[in-house]
Amino acid sequence: MRPKDISSKLPKLISLIRIIWVNSPYYNTRERLTSLFRKMSNEIIRLCCHAISLDRIFEGYVSSSKEDLQGCISCCHAWKDHYLRAVQIHTQFSSRGWVLDQTSIFAQVDAFVQRCKDLIEVCDCQYHFARWEDGKQGPLPCFFGAQGPQITRNLLEIEDIFHKNLHILRAVRGGILDVKNTSWHEDYNKFRTGVKDLEVMTQNLITSAFELVRDVEHGVLLLDTFHRLATRE
């Protein structure tokens, strides 16, 4: 089942768990029902992991990978929304309070959503710093004037450093999508630090390129060349 198809199945499953809770003489303890909901969270994460291809993410399939990751985030948010809606209705109409441990039910889901957001940032960085779009790199921009070749060399150096950082991140030990793998935070923060350095290098490159502008047409061409970076601070 794809993440986008999961949401419609959730209300019925939540209702079935409520039926067990209200009617079962033995299974209706707080611990057991919390555990049942937690198993649902784990199953949703498992299905989402199947929909994400790490190879495609790290091989520059930026647009399609971002779509898959957004689909997983939407699915996790839908699960939480359906659960909270069930809590609200139960609290409103049932004499028995809803006393389950919500934090433990959603702890891993929240961590997984953050992991997906981290991977979306990795996709964005590939687009911004290495011209990757969907499995192929965009054309190398052409810079005018005597300094043009030097600016191109600097741009290629930035791309080269970025690819090295990306390669290190890809080799993360313990599984990138495994939310129990805490080493990801350390590796991802190193990647982010590398990206900050590249941002400074890119700012310097843009400044150097604009110093050579002699007319409006040339300036507009440069704006167009660097426009992909416009979404970054």
pLDDT in tens, 95-104: 877 888 999 9
pLDDT grade for 143, boundaries at 50, 70 and 90: confident
**Residue 131 — left, alpha, or beta (φ > 0 → left; ψ -120 to 50 → alpha)?**
left
Sign for the CA dihedral angle at 194, 200, 201, 206 comes to positive
The SS3 call for residue 145 is: coil
Question: In which band, very low, low, confident or very high, does the pLDDT at 190 lie, cut at 50, 70 and 90?
Answer: very high
pLDDT bucket at 17, cuts 50 / 70 / 90:
very high
> Other C-beta atoms within 10 Å of 2: how many?
13
Report the alpha-carbon distance of residue 73 to residue 217 in Å, rounded. Answer: 42
Rg, the chain, Cα only: 24
pLDDT confidence of residue 233 = 85
Q: What is the pTM of this model?
A: 0.91
Q: Specify the pLDDT at position 163.
A: 97
3: which residues sit within 8 A by CB, 6+ positions away? 47, 48, 51, 68, 71, 72, 74, 75
Phi-psi category of 135—alpha, beta or left, where left has phi over 0 and alpha has psi -120 to 50? left
Cα separation of 99 and 218, whole Å? 66
pLDDT of residue 96: 77
Tell me the mean pLDDT in the region 53-57: 94
Percent of the chain surpassing pLDDT 90: 73
In the DSSP assignment, the letter for residue 228 is G
Q: Is the pLDDT of residue 106 over 90?
A: yes
Q: Which whole number is the average pLDDT over 141-158?
A: 89
Closest CA to 37 of 92, 79, 97, 88: 79
Provide the pLDDT for residue 60. 94
User: Quick check: 82 and 89 in contact, CB under 8 A?
Assistant: no
| Identity of the residue numbered 190 | K
Nearest-CA neighbor of 117 among 65, 158, 80, 181?
Answer: 65
